[in-house]
Structure 1
Amino acid sequence: MSVLPNQPKTLATPGVRGRKRRAQIMDIAARLFEDRGYHETSMEAIADAVGVRKASLYYYFTSKDDLLVEIHQEMIDLILDKQRERVAAGELPPSQMLLAIMTDLISLMESHPGHLRIFFEHFRELPTEIQHEIAGKRNEYREMLITVLDDGREAGEFAVDDSFLTAMLILGMCNWTYQWFDPAGRVSAETLAKLFYRQSVEGFGTAALRAQLN
């Protein structure tokens, strides 16, 4: 039985149905990449899993590399857009902004299973110009986190000596969950993010902020 309905469309197809179909193909491809390996997964294997002929798959993605690029772009744009919206709204204090960032990162394991391993382990397979673009977006996201930490220090919430190193520690802690976190396990992504946040605040939060944990 086909995983997806076999209704031919083209890359230029407008509307919600075309976007949903592309998203479904990306999700299936990401799972195959994670299970079998990127280099070991062919376009034919992806087409079989989707339930379409390989020629039909090319209506949506011109190559396996095209899929890889789309997966990377989707992941980084998703978390960037969420944080940009929070910054523009200007409603959250730095401490809650930090919790939101940590929740975003870990929740990707629930919303996009398989995608994170591709994002972190197959960056070098991207075309050079796309590598530069993704690296720039990663740097932008890291700078957003550094700003949150700096703002927290100024607001009297964080006692952070080096915002860059602290940001790298937080990103490493959250990003590495793709290696071991099971979204179907005993804790949810939101619960795990709150645990990470609590441990972080107990490490570099001020006495006033730590008191709010009790």
Structure 2
Amino acid sequence: MAQRHSSGRLVSHELLEHAARLFARQGYAGTSFQDIADSMGISRSALYHYVSNKEEILAALVRDVLERVVEILEEVTARTDLAEDERVALALHRIIVNNARNTTRFRLLDRSEPDLPDEIAELHRQARRRVLDLLSTLVDDAIRAGSFRPVPARTAALGMLGTANWVAWWYRPDHDGDAEELAATLVDMALVGVQRSGDRRVDPGPWAAVARLKEELAHLEHSLADTHPEPGSG
């Protein structure tokens, strides 16, 4: 029984890979069920043994791409052994590596977004919102801890996701090297923009002191707003 289950998983993975390449090249609307069967070298009736229609395949690809990112963020959020800024760095690193190793699937999802059936489109929107909410919360935690400057957490999270998502469009292992090394470089670059002045190289002089003072005041205001919310805000 275990062997049959393992075999089914392998075929399912192969099916998703073939469908992803076809959808990315021809578009979801331009790819038929028969095209997918032909690319796998099986009959249309044999393909029905695994899926009922194209929508089922697309839904599986949406889950495979976005729900994996949700899993990454949920796993990192639970890492109480890490400091707040370390959790952001780890989450972003793992998302970049995931996107770099699944470029075809990510690109097909991006290209197929306008053609998604309503039910799958809603699944896509929910997963994207969940990803943004989780990363925004991680960034906000780092701000509250004083590791990050008091920037808008959602804006910072969107910028980080933009960096991670764009990787799927330009990353090529033969040109850009190992995905892990690439992720380390991009994470360092992304965090420079949010780290507090004391954690970055800054020019000495009065203007640097003023900038640091502004950061301290903004952080204090952020903390006070959390401790003493305005009437009616809760």
CA gap 1:109/1:88 in 2 versus in 1, 3 angstroms: closer
Q: 2:86 aligns with which of 93, 96, 102?
A: 96
Q: Is 2:205 the partner of 1:206? A: no
Q: 2:155 aligns with which of 165, 173, 178?
A: 165
Q: Report which of the two structures shows the higher radius of gyration computed on alpha carbons.
A: 2
Cα deviation for residue 34 of structure 1 reads: 1.9
Q: Is 2:142 the partner of 1:152? A: yes
Q: Note if contact 1:47-1:53 (Cα within 8 Å) is conserved in structure 2.
A: yes
Q: Structure 1 CA distance, aligned partners of 2:116 and 2:150? A: 35
Cα deviation for residue 110 of structure 1 reads: 4.0
Stretches (4+) displaced over 4 A: none
Q: Percent identity?
A: 25
Q: Structure 1 CA distance, aligned partners of 2:147 and 2:71? A: 25
DSSP 3-state at the match of 1:35:
helix
DSSP 3-state at the match of 2:180:
helix
Structure 2 gaps of 5+ residues are 202-234
CA gap 1:111/1:197 in 2 versus in 1, 3 angstroms: closer
Q: Is 2:112 the partner of 1:122? A: yes
CA gap 1:184/1:41 in 2 versus in 1, 3 angstroms: farther
Moved more, 112-121 or 184-193: 184-193
Which whole-Å deviations, capped at 9, do the CAs of 1:15-61 have from their partners, x for residues lacking one?
22212211111012112222333333222222122121111111112
Structure 1 gaps of 5+ residues are 1-13
CA RMSD of aligned residues (A): 2.1
Question: Which structure has more helix as a fraction of its residues?
Answer: 2
Q: Structure 2 CA distance, aligned partners of 1:42 and 1:84? A: 36
Q: Structure 2 CA distance, aligned partners of 1:197 and 1:110? A: 14
Give the counterpart letter for 1:124 in structure 2.
P
Q: 2:24 aligns with which of 17, 22, 34?
A: 34
Partner of 1:11: none
DSSP 3-state at the match of 1:204:
coil
Aligned runs of 1:1-214 on 2, under 5 Å?
A: 15-210=5-200
DSSP 3-state at the match of 1:89:
coil
CA gap 1:85/1:105 in 2 versus in 1, 3 angstroms: closer
CA gap 1:174/1:110 in 2 versus in 1, 3 angstroms: closer
Give the counterpart letter for 1:60 in structure 2.
Y
How many residues align structurally? 199
